[in-house]
């Protein structure tokens, strides 16, 4: 069964969708879209370092993504405007990563694959890493779900409930780094943030509860993967961008449904 490249691609995409759904919901609730983008862009530098040091791309990308996320968290409270800080770090990390890749002699690099993903080339080993990472992310978010929701709703309420918001932020940061690392192979550095944000944003108008939004986002992400891969196969288009395009169309449809539905029903 796993000898079929389309089957492996579908399983990989669904794994990433399941990991990104609950995490993406918190990214939307906390308005951390740029945060996810900066972490994803930093992964390119991790790819370059992994190839230079001959270590796992997953490990290198996750380490650098985690360092980037922690750096943003630390610097955000020191007088820097968040959007400016994220813009500087995101584009600087991506630029340094691309320059570092150019210095790697004797190593054949599919740069477009790392930037936009190469889901059709996912191997059995990649599939194992993706699903292991997805299960870790789902486990982390599930374990801290109530605490994360409380910290997202109100920091003062979190402190009153004995919850440390900074600790919950670190858990989100770790989950984000893992998700970025496992998603590189599927949608690439430039589209990871889209898979985090778009399904969650599409699920928001269709959901009544936080749990419902996370589950709906997972369903939308999985459907986007399946439909996007089929469209890419039929139309001969890039698989990763096709998946994101389908998710964007679902977002547009859900926005229309949300706008025309009576406010009492939402």
Mean pLDDT in residue range 79-86: 69
Model pLDDT, residue 264: 42
pLDDT, tens digit, 9 for 90 and up, residues 214-250: 999 999 999 999 999 999 989 989 888 899 999 999 9
pLDDT of residue 78: 63
Nearest CA among 196, 216, 197 for reference residue 257: 216
Greater confidence (100 vs 25) lies with 25
DSSP 48-108: HHHHHHT--HHHHHHHHHHHHHHHHHHHTTTT--HHHHHHHHHHHHHHHHHHHHHT-TT--
pLDDT at position 57 over 70 = yes
**pLDDT greater than 70 at residue 3:** no
DSSP state of 122: -
pTM for this prediction = 0.85
Domain spans of the chain? 5-190
Q: 23 near 137, Cβ under 8 Å?
A: yes
Whether the CB-CB separation of 202 and 220 falls below 8 Å is answered with yes
More confident residue, 63 or 266: 63
Give the whole-angstrom CA distance, residue 22 versus residue 135. Answer: 12
The CATH architecture annotation of domain 5-190 reads Orthogonal Bundle (1.10)
pLDDT attached to residue 102? 77
What band does 77 get if pLDDT is binned at 50, 70 and 90?
Answer: low
Contact 16, 134 (CB under 8 A): yes
Q: What is the pLDDT of residue 212?
A: 93
Paired tokens of 17 = 């969708």
Output the CA angle 199-196-72, nearest 5 degrees. 150
- Report the pLDDT value the prediction gives residue 1, as an integer from 0 to 100: 47
What is the tens place of the pLDDT at every residue in 145-194? 999 999 988 888 888 888 988 888 888 888 888 888 888 878 888 788 88
Query: Residue 263: is its pLDDT beyond 60?
Result: no
User: What is the C-alpha separation between 118 and 159, in angstroms, rounded?
Assistant: 44
């Amino acid at each position: 069964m796993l000898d079929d490249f389309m089957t492996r691609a579908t399983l990989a995409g669904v794994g990433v969708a399941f990991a990104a759904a609950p995490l993406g919901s918190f990214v939307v609730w906390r308005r951390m879209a740029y945060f996810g983008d900066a972490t994803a862009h930093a992964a390119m530098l991790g790819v370059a370092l992994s190839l230079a040091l001959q270590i796992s791309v997953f490990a290198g990308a996750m380490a650098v993504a985690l360092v980037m996320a922690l750096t943003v968290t630390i610097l955000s409270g020191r007088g820097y405007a968040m959007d400016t800080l994220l813009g500087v770090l995101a584009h600087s990390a991506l630029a340094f990563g691309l320059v570092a890749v150019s210095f790697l002699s004797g190593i054949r690099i599919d740069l477009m694959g790392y930037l936009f993903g190469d889901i059709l080339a996912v191997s059995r080993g990649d599939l194992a890493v993706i699903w292991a990472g997805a299960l870790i992310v789902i486990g982390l978010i599930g374990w801290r779900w109530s605490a994360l929701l409380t910290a997202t709703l109100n920091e003062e309420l979190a402190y009153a409930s004995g919850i440390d918001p900074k600790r919950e932020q670190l858990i989100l940061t770790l989950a984000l780094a893992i998700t970025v690392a496992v998603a590189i192979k599927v949608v690439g550095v430039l589209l990871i943030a889209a898979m985090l944000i778009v399904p969650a944003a599409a699920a928001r108008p269709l959901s009544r509860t936080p749990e419902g939004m996370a589950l709906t986002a997972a369903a939308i992400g999985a459907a986007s993967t399946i439909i996007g891969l089929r469209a890419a196969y039929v139309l001969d288009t890039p698989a990763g961008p096709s998946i994101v395009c389908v998710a964007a169309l679902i977002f547009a449809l859900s926005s229309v449904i949300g706008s025309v539905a009576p406010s009492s029903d939402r």
